Amino acid sequence: MRLELLQLWFKPLQGPKLSQLRPALLTAAQEQAGPGAELLRWAITAAEPGRGLHIEAVLLVGDAPAPTRS
């Protein structure tokens, strides 16, 4: 397992921001580090009207979980 840094700009839509942010972070984490990535911590580090929110997150990256057999 290793730690990895994720940085992204997130421009939320109208409405509750947190309910939009968490799925976006999880999607970005899996796109960057693969399906085994987990969010440990995240923070909003900047806010700009034109770009949105700058997010920095720490990911825990390990092997992808084995598919379950049915």
Contact between 63 and 36 (Cβ < 8 Å): yes
What number of H helices and E strands is found in the chain?
Answer: 1, 3
Q: Which helix (H) or strand (E) holds 9?
A: strand 2-10
Name the residue ranges covered by the structural domains of the chain. 2-61
Q: What is the DSSP letter of 63?
A: P
Q: What is the pLDDT along the chain (70 residues), one digit of tens a residue?
A: 899 999 999 998 998 888 999 999 999 999 999 888 899 999 999 999 999 999 999 999 986 555 666 6
| β-bridge partners, 56 | 7, 43
Q: What is the pLDDT of residue 36?
A: 83
